[in-house]
Structure 1
Amino acid sequence: MASRGLLEILSGPTASTVAGFAGSAAVVFGVQRLVPTFDPTWYKSLKKPRWTPPNYVFPLVWIPLKLMQSAALWLVWSRAPSSKALVLPLAAMGVHMFLGNWWNVVFFGKRQLKPSLPWMYAFWGSIAATAAAFHPISPAAAYLMLPTQVWVTIATKLNWDIVQLNI
Structure 2
Amino acid sequence: MKNKTGSPAESRYPHAYRKDRRPVMVASAAAVGVGLAGGLATEIGPWYVSLRKPSWQPPNWLFAPAWTIIFALTAAAAVRTWRATPDPAGRRGLLAAFATNGALNIAWSVLFFRLRRPDWALAEVVALWLSILGLIVSCGRRSRLAGWMLSPYLAWVTFASALNLKIVQLNRPFGR
**Corresponding residue to 1:23 among 23, 26, 31:** 26
CA contact (8 A) 1:88 1:133 kept: no
Deviation at 1:121, TM superposition (A): 1.2
Residue 136 of structure 1: SS of its match in structure 2?
helix
2:66 equivalent in structure 1: 61
Residue 72 of structure 1: SS of its match in structure 2?
helix
- The 5-angstrom pairing of residues 38-117 of structure 1 reads 38-41=42-45, 42-117=47-122
- The letter of the residue matching 1:163 is V
- Superposed CA deviations along residues 40-93 of structure 1, whole A, max 9, x for unmatched, are 122111100000000000011110110000101111112212111113222211
Larger RCO: 1 or 2 (CA < 8 Å, sep 6+): 1
The runs of 5 or more residues in structure 1 that have no matched partner are 6-12
Q: How many residues align?
A: 156
Q: TM-score, normalized by length of structure 2?
A: 0.81
Q: Matched residues, percent identical?
A: 30
CA contact (8 A) 2:41 2:110 kept: no
Deviation at 1:38, TM superposition (A): 4.2
- The 5-angstrom pairing of residues 115-126 of structure 1 reads 115-126=120-131
Divergent runs of 4+, >6 A: none
**Pair 1:137–1:38, CA change in 2 (3 A):** closer
Please give the root-mean-square deviation of Cα atoms over the aligned residues, in Å.
2.0
Q: TM-score, normalized by length of structure 1?
A: 0.85
